[in-house]
Amino acid sequence: IRDHSEKLPLRNKKIIVTAGGTKERIDPVRYITNDSSGKMGHALAVEAWKRGAEVVLISASHLATPDYITRVPVESAEEMLRTVTDEFDDADAVIMAAAVSDYAPATVEKQKMKKKDSLTLSFRKNPDILKSLGEKKKPDQLLIGFAAETEDLIRYAEKKLNDKNADLIIANDVGKKDRGFNVDENEVTMLSRKSEPVTISLRSKSDVSVEVIDWLVTNMN
């Protein structure tokens, strides 16, 4: 199913894609996570592969993947950071489609916690993976992030583009039921440094991926 009609524009390019909502352990049988399914990240991985890229999919999702995609399963944000960092040096692009948990439980209980009358958990902040990549990326490495918002989509997305030193931010309204987290369709606005924002109207996540990977092909040297 690789597209041989054109001459595979991403041949010899290594692209890291992260996907899914990270799971942050509370005890051996419990964790906190979010509504991200991994569908957007997995669709991007497949589309990048179709254009000839070597794809490393670092996924916190349970979704199945075609066997031609190299997949590294991860659970927590810390684990995702280590895995992405290990793969980053010779990567040409990273697409951070994962919904990385902003916090993790401050302590992880070794045994299953016993029921009490009430429970208060305390959390520590997780590392910002995209930001850390933005701080050390080389000029020829491209960084694509998402901005999951329920309000002020474009303003917050622009701030993320700058704060994280990304090349492209895909702004994603996650406050509506028919798009974004855990469904098959998405509507996004792509923000880059060089051009005006481009809105990709509501369509399947694989069709959204075509637009994102087109951007990558155009902006990759």
Active site residues: 34
- Identity of the residue, 3 or 152, whose beta carbon is nearer to ligand CTP in the bound complex: 152
- Measured CA to CA, the distance from residue 55 to residue 215 in angstroms comes to 17
Amino acid identity at 214 = D
Residue 105 binding: pick among ligand CTP, Ca ion, none (C-beta 5-8 Å cut-off by kind): none
The torsion angles phi and psi of 44, rounded to 5 degrees, stand at -65, -40
Strand partners, 200: 188
Residue 130 binding: pick among ligand CTP, Ca ion, none (C-beta 5-8 Å cut-off by kind): ligand CTP
Answer yes or no: is 102 a known binding residue.
yes
Answer yes or no: is 160 a known binding residue.
yes
In the complex, the smallest distance separating the C-beta of residue 164 from ligand CTP, rounded to whole angstroms, is: 6
- Which own/partner contact pairs does 170-173 have at CB distance under 8 Å and 24+ positions apart? 170/144, 170/145, 170/146, 170/212, 171/146, 171/147, 171/197, 172/40, 172/146, 172/147, 172/148, 173/149
- Identity of the residue, 102 or 135, whose beta carbon is nearer to Ca ion in the bound complex: 102
Q: Residues in contact with Ca ion, total (CB under 5 A)?
A: 1
163 binds Ca ion (CB under 5 A): no
Residue 146 binding: pick among ligand CTP, Ca ion, none (C-beta 5-8 Å cut-off by kind): ligand CTP
Binding residues for ligand CTP, rule: CB under 6 A, are 77, 96, 98, 100, 102, 126, 128-130, 145-148, 160
Answer yes or no: are the C-beta atoms of 36 and 80 closer than 8 Å: no
Provide the H-helix boundaries in the chain.
39-50, 77-88, 129-136, 153-163, 205-219
In the complex, the smallest distance separating the C-beta of residue 126 from Ca ion, rounded to whole angstroms, is: 9
In the complex, the smallest distance separating the C-beta of residue 130 from ligand CTP, rounded to whole angstroms, is: 3
Answer yes or no: is 127 a known binding residue.
yes
Answer yes or no: is 63 a known binding residue.
no
Angle between helices 39-50 and 205-219 (to 10 degrees): 50
From residue 154, how far is each of 93, 99, 144, 161, 184 by CA, in Å? Answer: 23, 18, 16, 10, 22
**Contact window for Ca ion (CB under 5 A) among 80-88, 99-107, 119-127, 198-206:** 99-107
In the complex, the smallest distance separating the C-beta of residue 110 from ligand CTP, rounded to whole angstroms, is: 25
Annotated binding site for CTP: 102, 112, 127-130, 146, 160, 164
Annotated binding site: 102, 112, 127-130, 146, 160, 164
Site residues for Ca ion per CB under 5 A? 102
